[in-house]
Amino acid sequence: MVEANNTTVTLQVHRFTPRPERAERARGGSPFARKSSPFGGGSDNAARRRPRGKQWVQEYTIPARPEDTVLDCLLTIKRTVDPTLAFRYSCGHGMCGSDAVAINGTPTLLCTASIRDWAKQPGAIAQVDDEGFRHIGTDEDADTGEEASSADANSLGVIELAPLPGFPPQRDLIADIDPMLNQIRKLTPYLQADGVLATTAEGKVNAFEYLQHPEQLAKYETLSNCIACGVCEGSCPVFAGGDAFIGPAALIWSSRFINDSRDTKAMERMDAIDTADGVAACQSVRACSRHCPRGIDVGEEMWQIVAKVRER
Ligand code: SF4
Ligand code: FES
């Protein structure tokens, strides 16, 4: 919770209000009928990739402390300044992955980004003019006072917020991450194992056991921390919606089960990603590694799974 204090921060929020989807309405479809569950259906229709609507940049200056998170600030804005501002979050502490956005152009989570780490002095942030063109501020601008109005002694700086790149925006800071979830879903992201039947001392069926040594667990444990936030996909220059490349997150999920000694479908899983839009599409840019909030070295894991698929 942001408390009253002398310091302020300015958030420049890239906002978006979609135009009503006439074609869908004409067919009698409901905008609420879309499947957004990771286990539901859903389709990648091209119209959703090119959303039409009103876009603008809105600036909010609010009291904030350096240790506050960007999510704290957005909640303050939502509760006290502008209830129309839309963003998504759930756990508030880096566990659910629902609040990935671009902060100062870098994909990351709202709830783990502090003002101290992300606020920049005006001029270092691109300004967007009325026609939508971005301008990087200069020292000259600062001299003439053309920078953001928040440039006073108490200002902690400016933070630019935009929806997660690589995905269609739905509203304000909310992006449609269904393309990523659909790609993950296609690769059967669940254990397919033959359990060992365990019995009680009396010889009755007790339970199926899925035994594993610590060394076997270590091979995929880090990968199982993926929260499907989409930060790696938003950083990947090849992903861009999942048409040409199924994306690093889907490959991480596939690799997690390929490396699980209990899973019996490793060969089928490798066949499924040995495609033109699978491992072959990865260009080893490694931008995906830079900001994974769960500490996964995504680029290195990509390299490992590509090598494993080629060697099989
Ligand atoms: S690998 Fe990391 S950045 Fe990518 S979706 Fe999983 S948690 Fe997010
Ligand atoms: S709100 Fe759950 S990860 Fe940020």
212 neighbors 278 (Cβ within 8 angstroms): no
132 contact partners, CB below 8 Å, separation of at least 6: 55
Question: In this structure, which ligand is nearest to the CA of 229?
Answer: 1
What's the pLDDT score for residue 36? 45
Helix (H) or strand (E) holding 78: helix 70-80
84 contact partners, CB below 8 Å, separation of at least 6: none
pTM of the full predicted structure?
0.80
- Number of neighbouring beta carbons within 10 Å of residue 275: 12
- Which domains can be identified in the chain, with CATH numbers? 8-22+32-170 (3.10.20.30), 177-196+209-311 (1.10.1060.10)
Closest protein CA for atom 5 of ligand 1: 228
Q: How far apart are CA 130 and CA 18, in angstroms?
A: 19
Instruction: Decide whether any atom of ligand 2 lies within 6 Å of the 69 Cβ.
Output: no
**Probe residue for ligand 2, chosen from 70, 75, 93, 226 as the CB with the greatest number of ligand atoms within 8 Å:** 93
Residues 210-236 as b/e (b if ≥16 CB within 10 A, e otherwise) read: eeeeeeeeeebebbeebbbbbbbbbbb
Give per-10-residue mean pLDDT for the chain (312 aa). Answer: 75 94 56 46 49 92 97 98 98 96 97 96 61 49 47 88 95 96 95 82 80 94 97 92 87 97 96 95 90 94 93 88
What's the pLDDT score for residue 301? 93
Q: Which atom of ligand 1 is nearest to the CA of 97?
A: 8
What's the pLDDT score for residue 142? 45
Q: Would you say how long the chain is, in residues?
A: 312
What's the pLDDT score for residue 173? 98
